[in-house]
Amino acid sequence: MDFRYSGFVDGHCHPLFASREAEGPILDAAADVTAALEILTAFLETNPETQWLDAGSLDRNLPGMPVTAAQLDLVSATIPVVVHASDHHAIWVNSAALRLAGFEQSAPQLANAHFEVDASGKPTGMVHEWDAMSLIYNHQPKSSIDADLAALDRAQTRLLGNGVVAVQEAWIDRGMPEVYLEAAARDLLRMFVNLAPRISPNNWREDLQFAKATRSAVRAAAHPLLSCNTIKIFVDGVLSSQTALLKQPYCGHQSNFKTGTVLWEQVALEELALAADSAGFQLHFHAIGDAAVSQALDAIQYIDDCNGPVDRRPVIAHAELIDHSDLERMRRLGVVVCQQPVWAEPGIEREALKEVLGEERTLAMYPIATLLEAGVVVSFGSDWPVSDPNPLHGLYQAITRQDAPEQALAVPEAIRCYSQNGALQIGLEAPLGIAGSTWVEWDVDLVNASPTELVNARVIRHSVNGVVTKP
């Protein structure tokens, strides 16, 4: 039988980052730090030409944590070794990486990120948040355009094989637009991609100019599968490193200092938001804590007041904790909340969060059904490489919700979040639909499948913009 659906849309992922990372050793199977070190060592033994070892990723709660520079020095004392935390908001590095960056003996002082140090002030090897991580990555050898095109091709193959026909590329930095533009020029794009240049608090005016230049170049390329209509803004960090911005302190801390990391002064965020909205960009906020969600909503309210209520579809990605008093404002402002339902899976990471959030706040995370009941548009995404890009894993968690049964969705509703609502988010309503030119055919009827059948479904073939292929 012909079980066609409109195709999944990943509302927040990083295909180029993910595929680049996958060129190094994959550490997902490591049961503890010792096993991870063995995988890294074996990789270097079989790849002696390696000049920079980039690997991913490890759960912060894995037995044997934290990883230290001294441990990674056993892998190599001369080759920089960089290991991603599974949330991709921290890395562990060896002494060679610290030495290359100039921080082997002391750490830089940064406002919104930091190197962990020992009692003597010497970096331990763990680095938190991008402003600090970038000081290491600035020394990584640059990929060639052909290597990046190969990485992008692998990413597209994996996504399409999982039924994903369109993505929001949710983090574009300098050096990345060229990869997509060259792919467009060589007609190597096989799925819809919307780029979102990242805007930093420290250089937002220059970054906005970069976004405008990228959009102009993408428009000049005039490829039907490539757009650049969005900008990416980090409002906070992540819960696991206590950098997500909360309204109440993390457990065990009494001072207001321990409510997370403030990345933007509200005036500056509103000034950027107004400038970007006036330039015609959609705003895509990373906001995990309830205070960060409220800060993003304040900025959206500001541009709505200044530029008037229009169909701008601002996006708040993740929104792991939401103050219920913000629900009506989300609906009224037309916000699309892009959630990652796969993160609701019970396990060691969720249990570890209870130590920093408490049980009540942990169980209140990912209120997908509550959002939908309040009339808020919810899209789904994987945040790959943070999570596997297979939407079926996210759908399984969305419809089962072992952690919070009251938040479970019916199968058709969950599929709509991962397809039509994602298309709405990135402005692709027209090209998607089983009667149109973009669809995915499955080996089972997804709507009527059991949860087990759903998570094991396979793509038979897909059509993107009229081009029909098989995985």
Which token pair is 349?
């990471």
In whole angstroms, what is the distance from residue 202 CA to residue 223 CA? 33
Sign of the C-alpha dihedral, residues 279, 196, 145, 54?
positive
What is the per-residue pLDDT across 77-131, written as a single tens digit (0 to 9) for each?
Answer: 999 999 999 999 999 999 999 999 999 999 999 988 999 999 999 999 999 999 9
What is the per-residue pLDDT across 339-376, written as a single tens digit (0 to 9) for each?
Answer: 999 999 999 889 999 999 999 999 999 999 999 999 99
Q: Give the CA angle between residues 121, 123, 128 to the nearest 5°.
A: 120
In whole angstroms, what is the distance from residue 339 CA to residue 98 CA? 35
In whole angstroms, what is the distance from residue 208 CA to residue 203 CA? 9
Q: If phi over 0 gives left and psi between -120 and 50 gives alpha, with beta otherwise, what is residue 308?
A: left
Q: If phi over 0 gives left and psi between -120 and 50 gives alpha, with beta otherwise, what is residue 328?
A: alpha
Which token pair is 452?
């087990």
Residues in the chain: 471
Antiparallel, parallel or unpaired: β 53-58 and 192-199: unpaired
What is the per-residue pLDDT across 392-419, written as a single tens digit (0 to 9) for each?
Answer: 999 999 999 998 999 999 999 999 999 9
Determine the residue type at 29: A
In whole angstroms, what is the distance from residue 471 CA to residue 458 CA? 10
What is the per-residue pLDDT across 127-150, written as a single tens digit (0 to 9) for each?
Answer: 999 999 999 999 999 999 999 999
Residue bearing tokens 């993107």? 464
Is the pLDDT at 182 greater than 70? The verdict is: yes
In whole angstroms, what is the distance from residue 5 CA to residue 319 CA? 28
Of 454, 460, 456, the C-alpha closest to 3 is 460
What topology does CATH give the domain 145-467? Answer: TIM Barrel (3.20.20)
Crossing angle for the helix pair 266-278 and 290-307, nearest 10 degrees?
50
Our measurement of the distance from residue 73's CA atom to the centroid of its chain's CA atoms, rounded to an integer in Å, reads 29
Q: What is the chain's mean pLDDT, rounded?
A: 95
Which token pair is 367?
């209120």
Q: For the sheet containing 53-58, what is the strand order?
A: 53-58, 81-85, 90-93, 123-128, 114-117
Mean pLDDT for 384-394 is: 97
What topology does CATH give the domain 52-137? Answer: Diaminopimelate Epimerase; Chain A, domain 1 (3.10.310)
In whole angstroms, what is the distance from residue 404 CA to residue 344 CA? 9
- pLDDT confidence tier of residue 429, bands split at 50, 70 and 90: confident
CB 3 within 8 A of CB 445: yes
pTM of the model: 0.96
Predicted pLDDT at 324: 97
CB 194 within 8 A of CB 180: no
In whole angstroms, what is the distance from residue 292 CA to residue 261 CA? 10
Predicted pLDDT at 253: 60
Predicted pLDDT at 2: 76
Is the pLDDT at 432 greater than 90? The verdict is: no
Of 204, 170, 387, 192, the C-alpha closest to 282 is 170
CB 232 within 8 A of CB 171: yes
Spell out where 365-447 has E strands.
Answer: 377-380, 439-442
For CATH 3.20.20.140, the residue range(s) in the chain are 145-467
The SS3 of residue 221 is helix
Spell out where 8-120 has E strands.
Answer: 8-13, 53-58, 81-85, 90-93, 114-117
**In sequence order, what are the beta bridge partners of 232?**
198, 284
Sign of the C-alpha dihedral, residues 215, 219, 222, 224?
positive
| Omega before residue 134 within 30° of 0, cis | no
- Backbone phi, psi, residue 26, to 5°: -95, 125
**In sequence order, what are the beta bridge partners of 380?**
339
What is the per-residue pLDDT across 232-261, written as a single tens digit (0 to 9) for each?
Answer: 999 999 999 999 999 999 997 654 458 999
More confident residue, 252 or 337: 337
Mean pLDDT for 310-334 is: 98
In whole angstroms, what is the distance from residue 3 CA to residue 41 CA? 46
Mean pLDDT for 320-339 is: 98
What is the per-residue pLDDT across 452-470, written as a single tens digit (0 to 9) for each?
Answer: 999 999 999 999 999 999 9
For CATH 3.10.310.70, the residue range(s) in the chain are 52-137
Mean pLDDT for 15-26 is: 95
Of 154, 162, 165, the C-alpha closest to 9 is 165
Per-residue DSSP letter, 100: H
